[in-house]
Every structure is written in C-alpha cells, then in structure tokens.
Amino acid sequence: MEDIELITSHIDIVLPTAWDIEGISPFIDIDSSGLIVNYTNPDNYEAAIVRANHPIPSQCGIFYFEIKIINKGKNGIIGIGYCTKQNNINIYPLGQEYKGNKQNKKNKSWWCDYHSDDGYFFCSESGKKYGPPYTTGDIVGCYLNFRNGIIFYTKNGINLGIACYLHSDFKGILYPCVGFKSQGGSVEANFGKKKFKYSALEYQEKAYFITGVNLTNELTKSLKKETSELSCRGKMYFIMGKYEEALADLTKLLETDPNNIIALRYRGEIYYLVKKYDESIADLEKLLTIRPDDEWATEAKKLVNDL
C-alpha cells in the first residue's frame, strides 16, 4: 500500500482566513475580525459579493468552510459558494454578468452558489433545485474536492448531496464567496479556526490537507485492532471523496461489528451521496435504533425521506 501524502507543515500554504477588504463594494461592511459581513445597502435593488482574502490552494486536495446566517435580511437572498477573481463583485446573482456579455466567458470567470431563498444551486449559467432554503440561524457549509471535482453543501451539519462536478480540465483559481441582495443581510464565516458544525471534517487545520490518493500503513500502523483501522481508513476515504473505497472498508467493518455507529453513520451518508437512498435509510434507521436521540441521524433520515 502506497504512502499517503499529508501536508504536515502549513508554512508554504496560504489559506483563506478572512474576507478580503480590498476593493469591496460600498454596500459591504466587514467587522474587525474579518469574518462578519453586513450588507448595508438601504434597498434591495443593488447587490454585492464578498470574496475571501486568499484563493484555495489546489495542494489542499480538499477545502471546506461554513457560513452562519446571522440575519437573512429583508428578502433573504444570499448565495454561498466559490468564484474566480474575474467575477464582478458588484453583480449578484452572479449569473447576471453572463447575460449578453461574451467577454466574461472568455476571461475565465466561473462561479457556483447555493441560494438561501429558494434552495437552488447555480453553476455559471445553469441552475437547478438542490436543497432546502436556509435562513437566520442556519449554518451552511461548502466542500470542494480538487481530486475528484466534487462540490457539496451541508446545512446545520447535514450533507445535502453532490451539487456539481468540476470539469476534468478545470484550471480556475477559486475563492470562497458570499453574495447578497437582501437589505440587512449579515453572515459570519468559519474558515477552520473553530469547530465545524459538519462533524465529518471537524477542523480545517487537522490532517485534511490531503494531496495523496492512497491511505497507508503510516496512517493506521498505530491502530492495534482491524476494526479501528477500517474505521479510520473508511472515514479518511470518505473525506477524500473516494466513496467506493470507503464503502468497502465500512461494509467490511459492519460484517464483524454490525452495530458500529461510525460505520453506520458514514456508510449511510455515502449511500445518500451516490443516490442509493434505500440503503441509506436502512443504515440511518439502524443507527437510530442504537442511538434513538442521535440528532444528526434524525435530520439525515428526514432529508432522505423528503427526496
């Protein structure tokens, strides 16, 4: 088994840590922490986008951030996602800049976002119904995997499923971003300094700067039991978006330990992501028989049942 390549020193990696205060819209106010953004436009007719202070380095392999909705604002139109530096920060929804403007298509501008008011997901020019709307008090996370081109979102710690796949030849440099078109809208970002609501990733600063694609004995050699090795390896495969490998390990673990709550939790989530909804429900129901008060499993089961 090949060694996994984990970046243990962050010295050469510059990550998004706050919102960019340079060249922002006059309707954007960023507090002293650099994390809280307020949309100050007195009406809803003009909009604005705020980007993170640094792009996401592709060396990370994966990146995840969360946004807490402090106030949805008057009409609740907020979008969370990624964009390139070429996107116009004074136009939102982002797709409007493409209409009748061929130049934007040539300058490598690209974006995606998940909308608060209607639950739609937009990727450049196309949109689709994706997840539930979100509002004041909700926490929305956005996951990006450079290895397999996956983007998915979470809401209050529940995975909403794959939103889109990046093209295999995608070369854009992406920034976390939030768009506003809602008077009084306010959000707070978590770029990994605090514990995430989505427990699968916990903290950005832990060993999630993954550039390799294989797990190794170096990762699990200190684990004495096969069940511990399978559990750890299955979760790491899940984090990397290697769902087939994760399913194999977690299924093997459940063959010897049918009530393993970690395996049931992550296998249930993977089945949901790959649209095997009956299998997902079965794992979640079993998890709830073991832990009837498990809030995550209860909400995840409700999400799958609503499909």
Boundary residue ending a domain (190, 225, 243): 190
State whether 234 and 296 are in the same domain.
Answer: yes
CATH number of the domain residue 234 falls in = 1.25.40.10
State whether 183 and 243 are in the same domain.
Answer: no
State whether 284 and 183 are in the same domain.
Answer: no
State whether 186 and 275 are in the same domain.
Answer: no
Task: State the sign of the Cα–Cα–Cα–Cα dihedral 239, 211, 275, 158.
Answer: positive
State whether 36 and 161 are in the same domain.
Answer: yes
* Contact assessment for residue 148 and residue 167, using Cβ atoms and an 8 Å cutoff: no
State whether 173 and 233 are in the same domain.
Answer: no
212 within some domain: no
Mean pLDDT of the 232-259 span: 92
Q: Is 259 left (phi over 0), alpha (psi -120 to 50) or beta?
A: alpha
State whether 180 and 44 are in the same domain.
Answer: yes
99 within some domain: yes
- What pLDDT sits at residue 4? 34
What is the tally of structural domains in the chain?
2
- What is d(CA 228, CA 256) in angstroms, rounded to the nearest whole number? 12
State whether 47 and 131 are in the same domain.
Answer: yes
Query: Does residue 110 surpass a pLDDT of 90?
Result: no
Residue ranges making up the domain that contains 169: 28-190
Mean pLDDT of the 252-273 span: 95
| pTM of the predicted model as reported, rounded to 2 decimal places | 0.84
16 within some domain: no
37 within some domain: yes
Task: State the sign of the Cα–Cα–Cα–Cα dihedral 5, 245, 237, 169.
Answer: positive
> 187-191, 224-228, 232-236, 288-292: lowest mean pLDDT where?
224-228
State whether 176 and 132 are in the same domain.
Answer: yes
CATH number of the domain residue 109 falls in = 2.60.120.920
pLDDT range class, residue 93, cuts 50, 70, 90: low
State whether 243 and 144 are in the same domain.
Answer: no
Residues 6+ apart with CB under 8 A from 299: 156, 157, 158
Over the stretch 46-77, which tens digit does the pLDDT of each residue have?
788 999 999 998 777 889 999 999 999 988 89
Only one residue has tokens 């929305």, namely 140
9 within some domain: no
- Closest alpha carbon to 185 in 49, 82, 17: 49
